[in-house]
Structure 1
Amino acid sequence: MAIKASATVQIDEPHVRVTRWTFEPGTSTGPHVHEYDYVVVPVIPGTLTMVDANGDHIAEMKLGESYSRPKGVSHDVVNRSDAVVSFVEIEMK
Structure 2
Amino acid sequence: MSERPLFALTEQINNERTCVNHLFFPAGCETRWHRHERDYVIVPMQDCQLEIDTGNGAISVPMKKGECYFRYAGVEHNVINDSEQDITLLEIEIK
Structure 1 stretches lacking a partner, 5+ long:
none
Q: Which has the higher strand share?
A: 1
- Residues 20-72 of structure 1 show CA distances to partners (whole Å, capped at 9, x for unaligned) of 10111111111001100000001132111001111111111210110000001
Which residue in 2 is equivalent to 1:34?
A: 36
Identical pairs, percent: 37
Structure 2 stretches lacking a partner, 5+ long:
none
Give the TM-score normalised by structure 2. Answer: 0.92
Structure 1 runs of 4+ off > 2 angstroms? none
**1:23 is aligned to 2:15:** no
Which residue in 1 is equivalent to 2:69?
A: 67
Which residue in 2 is equivalent to 1:76?
A: 78
- Number of residue equivalences: 93
Computed over aligned residues only, the root mean square deviation of the Cα atoms, in angstroms, reads 1.0
Q: Distance in 1 between matches of 2:13 and 2:47?
A: 22
